[in-house]
Amino acid sequence: MPDPLSGFDSKIFAAQLHTPFKVLRDKEPPVTLELAEVNERPTPPGIELFSLVFRGPAAPRLPQQMHRLEHEVLGAFDLFFTAIAGDNQGISYEAVFHRLHKKKP
């Protein structure tokens, strides 16, 4: 089965800024996160490096692990993220992409 994330780059995520992503959880209600930031980093040729910052509710705090996400445009996919900040208003989570660019045929 192909990995849907292999076709996603920072531009695809940037087009989805400020839209909801539903985190599906076993035996628990889903949690909705908003894509708050897409941060690109300078890299040498052939390397792709960017991060996504999602903002969610103050509770529940989602653990650092793979999560199943659903999005209206991007569909369903698994993503590893971790909490990076939190306050009474909510929790921020980050997912980092650091990979080789795929060679195009």
Q: What is the pLDDT of residues 13-59, one digit of tens each?
A: 999 999 999 999 999 999 999 999 999 988 888 888 999 999 999 99
Q: Which position has the higher pLDDT, 72 or 1? A: 72
Cα distances from 58 to residues 4, 19, 34, 92, 93, in angstroms, run 29, 18, 13, 9, 11
Residue 2 has what pLDDT? Answer: 58
Write down the pTM of the prediction: 0.89
Residue 22 inside a domain? The answer is yes
Note whether residue 40 is domain-resident: yes
CA distance 88 to 76: 29
Query: What total number of domains does the chain contain?
Result: 1
In this prediction, residue 31 carries a pLDDT of: 97
Residue range of the domain that includes 68: 4-100
Residue 64 belongs to a domain: yes
Identify the pLDDT of residue 21.
98
Residue 52 identity? L
Residue 32 lies in a domain: yes
In a domain, 89, yes or no: yes
Any domain includes 105? no
Q: What is the 3-state secondary structure (H, E, C) of 3-23?
A: CHHHHCCHHHHHCCCCCEEEE
